[in-house]
Amino acid sequence: AVRNFTLNFTLTNLQFTADLAMPNSKKFKSTEKVMYHYVDPLLQKSSIGPAYIGCKVIAFRSKEGRHNTGVDAICSYRDEPSAPRFNRVTIYRELSNATNGVTQLGHYNLDSQSLYVNG
């Protein structure tokens, strides 16, 4: 079976623009690809790595009066007896460690209070 979890975080050095709210815009698509470039390897190296399928950005949203950009993603993994068990607290800790205490995601700065993992 395939299961999903949500992943949310805020980028503090990406100013929100109206085209980020439009899933078919060039800005949305290019920013989405960058997010996959940074997020997928972190989850592939996590405790659910062998079961991890991927994430889909569902929205970029305005935060702090458009100065920051929130990222909402739905991620999927295989829930099989032989697969690693999903534990949202463990995934949160692993992502926190991999992002330098929820401060850095590649060349993006993160709001350290913004990481949210929900199974």
What CATH number should be reported for the domain holding residue 82? 3.30.70.960
pLDDT at 112: 96
| pLDDT of the residue at 11 | 97
For residue 106, the model assigns a pLDDT of 95
Among the residues of the chain, which ranges form H helices? 26-44, 88-98
Using only C-alpha atoms, the chain has a radius of gyration, in whole angstroms, of 14
109: tokens are: 């700065």
pLDDT value, residue 83:
83
Q: What is the mean pLDDT of each run of 10 residues along the chain (119 residues)?
A: 96 96 96 96 95 96 90 95 90 97 96 94
Number of domains, the chain: 1
pTM of the entire structure?
A: 0.93
Alpha-carbon gap, residue 48 to 95, rounded angstroms: 12
Domain range for 23 is 2-118
